[in-house]
Chain A
Amino acid sequence: MQEVKTRDFVTNARGALDDVNLQEALTKMKTGFVDRRTEARNGLPEFDDIRDRARDIKNHTLAHLDYYLERFEAKVTEQGGHVHWCATPEDARQTILDICRRLDAKTVTKGKTMIAEEIGLNDFFEENGIEPIETDLGEYIIQLRKEPPSHIIAPAVHVLKHEVAEAFVKKHIDRDPSRPLEEPRALLDEAREELRQKFIDADVGVTGANFLIAETGSSVIVTNEGNGDLTQTIPKAHIVLASLEKVVPTLEDASTILRVLARSATGQEFSVYTTFSTGPRRPEDLDGPGEYHVVLLDNGRSALMGTEYQEMLRCIRCGACMNHCPVYNSVGGHAYGWVYPGPMGAVLTPSLIGIEAAGHLPNASSFCGRCEEVCPMRIPLPKMMRHLREQEFDRGLGSQVVRTGLRFWAFYAKRPRLYHFLAGLKFRLLGTMGAKKGRFRTLPGAGGWTKYRDFPAPQPGGTFQARWSAKDGARGPVA
């Protein structure tokens, strides 16, 4: 399993805020995804109806998950493929290694798969003398830089182009080190050339799956580059690495969800390549893999069934929640310390690897609610983060400072008159002190806030509670 660094979230986040390159990269990504999604959404009047249907499809599937998985397996087997049920990352890695060993594989090309990150597949391949080659451009870049992805659909979103150039000069040693690599076009062309022969020489191709179809036994990948197609079509075997919640009943169900996937992810009407793969090549086919394997990973997902986190299994990994998250946009994906960042990661990570290890993550939210607002599968992410926070508190896992602070706050919150008196006092004090500029650049006791942004001074007119009372006389402070 990929190394877990979730406990270090606070330290990681602080480092991320001080990282000049990262902040520049995050600034570049901020508006692009959001604007493009809004435009795509507005271009399809049926978008919200389709979201409802997509949610219902996944809910129906989860309620009959055992049946649809067995149905999927039966269809894959019927087509001459194999399904391998793997409860743990160890099982999945060993299954993949056994297939590669049997085929005497030296190199394995890989399309983008988050499950491979989850099970730490690349390191495992290297330990066993097999060369893994990432073929998605973003994944290739971070493989060269020896780091994990920082975004589930844009893995190298934290990397600036001059950093890509540095990584290429270091890796592609047969080329002139002084070649011009300032332009992204030059970088892209170089990657294309380097990878072309690797596609042709690879013994095995590993891809992820956006969907598994119970009706036909097909796996589906969605890409823009075409790397996933070359990865699965040319080698002797195609290994699909998928978590078990990817299954949907029919081709129609997948089509419905595809209508919201690309629009939510990149803001495209449809991704460039959506590919349905069913079994190995047919005897008379001119190309295609000779073997087709689906490695079905559980890794804690089945244990979410019937719990308050079951709804998380609707997630289709579009990344919209992180694109719209003020916390993700400030600290990037690496700070979250495991495979899945942003709001979906803040819920999925503690659900899969435990609150003890990742209980910090649900605290990384301002509860602004944008993640739920944009989620194509209507997953109530803030509600789930709130539940996880409660569990963290109940188990006594939070930091001592937070626990003491909450106790302190609770003391006043239970005494409304005292609370309003003190809040009013503080309001007037800050209002007077900050009257001139309207904001504070530094504030004793709030250094964590003012280091990265100004603290707004209270505006004339009283506290929120006071204004609320003035607006609606019937509702004064509770005595």
Chain B
Amino acid sequence: MSGRDSILGTIRQGLGRGELGDGAKAELEARISGHARGPRPSRVDLDADGLADLFVEYSKGVDVSVDRVASLEDVPDRVADYLTRENLPATLRVAPDPSLDGIPWERRPTLTVTKGKTDGTDEVGLTAAFAGIAETGTLMMRSGPEHPTTLNFLPDSHVVVLRKSQIVGSYEDAWDRIRAGEMPRTVNFITGPSRTGDIEQTIFMGAHGPRRLHIVLVEDV
């Protein structure tokens, strides 16, 4: 008997029944496609402005720096200032994402901007978020030809462009947006820069992922 059959057999024996009938299976399928939600934290019962504020509040609580800007046009200046402030090189590796095409990088000629995935030598990466989840100040990123996952993890500093219209209340709200398309290979929830407490319970940033996380929040609505 295969491992599969013996495992399923033991489970069914423990449950005191055989394989489920078609009716029971249909009920379970209905439960899956119903996407029923658990209790919703009341803290996210807010309008769009409230959610954006809550998102920023929780992000800052996990050592993220946030810049709020009026449009994509402001991004080059704010990013350049951020790099200067943090004493980082003026060189950016940017995700090949059409949603970032509207950023007029030429406004800050001192910035060197290249597009594509990273080979691990880039110090600063810039990517676009898929959603922001106000509940815990969490970014949702999805993999794809325009969003290489490694760009979220390998550079020492990670800059993320998030639009206010992308901010939702709960994780479940964000899943609904994912379901509007195909499930990608990778969905990353990111809440703050990489950290560890593995040496004597003391928290330090930058274990293996980025040491710094900076969000540029574009107020598009």
* A residues at B contact (CB < 8 Å): 25, 28-29, 32, 44-46, 49-50, 53-54, 57, 63-71, 84-87, 91, 135-138, 141, 154-157, 159-161, 164, 184-185, 187-188, 192, 195-196, 199-200, 214-216, 218, 224-227, 229-230, 233-234, 244, 249-253, 255-256, 258-259, 266, 268-282, 284-288, 296, 298, 302-307, 310
9 A-B pairs (CB sep. < 8 Å): A69-B11, A137-B196, A138-B196, A188-B207, A230-B209, A252-B175, A270-B191, A278-B185, A286-B145
Q: How many A-B residue pairs have CB under 8 A?
A: 258
Minimal beta-carbon separation of A147 from chain B (angstroms): 14
Instruction: List CB contacts (< 8 Å) of B14-56 with chain A.
Output: 14-16, 19-20, 24-25, 28, 31-32, 35-42
Residue contact B31 to A249, C-beta cutoff 8 Å: yes
Q: With an 8 A cutoff between CB atoms, is B157 at the interface? A: no
A65-B11, A273-B209 are contacts. A224–B145 as well, Cβ < 8 Å?
Answer: no
Minimal Cβ-Cβ distance residue in A for B120? A200
Given A303-B10, A305-B11, A251:B175 Cβ within 8 A: yes
CA distance A303 to B3 in the complex (A): 14
Is B195 at the interface (CB under 8 A from chain A)?
yes
Asked, given contacts A188-B199, A215-B32, whether A66 binds B15 with beta carbons under 8 Å apart, the answer is: yes
Tell me if B20 and A66 are in contact (CB < 8 A): yes
Are B58 and A269 in contact, CB atoms less than 8 angstroms apart?
yes
In the complex, what residues of B have CB within 8 A of residue A229's CB? 149, 152-153, 188, 209
Report yes or no: B14 in contact with A302, Cβ–Cβ below 8 A: yes
Residues of A within 8 A of B191 (CB): 268-274
Distance, CA A56 to CA B209, complexed state (A): 35
User: Which A residues are CB-close (under 8 A) to B37?
Assistant: 252, 255-256
CB proximity of B28 to chain A, nearest CB, Å: 6
Q: Give the distance to chain A from B214, nearest Cβ to Cβ, in Å.
A: 15
From A230, A278, A285, residue with most partner B Cβ within 10 Å = A285
Residue contact B200 to A28, C-beta cutoff 8 Å: yes
| Complex interface: chain B residues within 8 A of A86 (CB) | 3
Tell me how far the C-beta of A419 lies from the nearest C-beta in chain B, rounded to whole angstroms. 42
Q: Does B165 interact with chain A (Cβ within 8 Å)?
A: no
Q: How large is the interface on B (under 10, 10 to 19, 20 to 34, 35 or more residues)?
A: 35 or more
Known: A287-B148, A298-B7. A225 touches B184 (CB 8 A): no
B219 at the interface (CB under 8 A from A): no
B194 on the A face (CB < 8 A): yes
In chain A, what residue has the closest Cβ to B14? A305
- B8 adjacent to A66 (CB under 8 Å): yes
Determine the distance from Cα of A462 to Cα of B39 in the docked complex, in whole angstroms.
49
CB distance from A365 to the nearest CB of B (A): 24
Stretch at the interface among B65-73, B76-84, B103-111, B136-144: B136-144
Contact of A251 with B35 in the complex, beta carbons under 8 Å: yes
Cross-chain contact B194 with A226 (CB below 8 angstroms): yes
Question: Which of B31, B150, B188, B194 contacts A224, CB < 8 Å?
Answer: B194
A137 to B154, CA, bound (A): 16
Question: With A214-B32, A224-B194 as given contacts, are A285 and B185 in contact (CB-CB < 8 Å)?
Answer: yes
A302 surroundings in chain B (CB, below 8 A): 7, 10-11, 14
Q: Whose C-beta in chain B lies nearest to the C-beta of A140?
A: B198
Nearest-Cβ distance from residue B195 to partner chain A, whole angstroms: 5
In the complex, B90 has a CB within 8 A of chain A: no
Q: Which of A64, A87, A273, A277 contacts B3 (CB 8 A)?
A: A87
Q: Report which of A49, A266, A282 forms a contact with B197, defined as CB distance below 8 A.
A: A266
A233 engages B7 (CB within 8 Å):
no
**Complex interface: chain B residues within 8 A of A66 (CB):** 8, 11-12, 15, 19-20
Q: Provide the residues of chain B in CB contact with A230, threshold 8 Å.
A: 150, 153-154, 208-209
Most central of B116, B138, B172, B209 by chain A CB within 10 Å:
B209
B187 within 8 A of A: yes
Contacts of B87 in A (CB 8 A): none
Which residue from A70, A71, A250 sits with its C-beta under 8 Å from B8? A70
- Residue ID in chain A nearest B117 by CB atoms: A286
Question: Cβ of B13 < 8 Å from any Cβ of A?
Answer: yes
Contact of A67 among B20, B192, B195 (CB under 8 A): B20
By the criterion CB–CB under 8 Å, are B185 and A281 in contact?
yes
Q: Are B7 and A244 in contact (CB under 8 A)?
A: yes
Chain A residues near B40 (CB-CB < 8 A): 46
Contact B117 A287 (CB under 8 A): yes
Known interface pairs A138-B198, A255-B175; A50-B38 also in contact (CB < 8 Å) = yes
Complex alpha-carbon distance, A218 and B183, angstroms:
9
Q: Is the CB of A273 within 8 A of B189?
A: yes
User: Given A136-B198, A192-B206, A225-B196, do A270 and B7 touch, yes or no (CB 8 Å)?
Assistant: no
Q: Is the CB of B145 within 8 A of A285?
A: yes
**In the bound complex, CA of A127 to CA of B170 (Å):** 47
Q: For residue A192, which residues in chain B have a CB less than 8 angstroms away from its CB?
A: 206-208
B residues less than 8 Å from A275 (CB atoms): 186-189
Residues of A contacting B10 in the complex (Cβ-Cβ under 8 angstroms)? 298, 302-303, 305
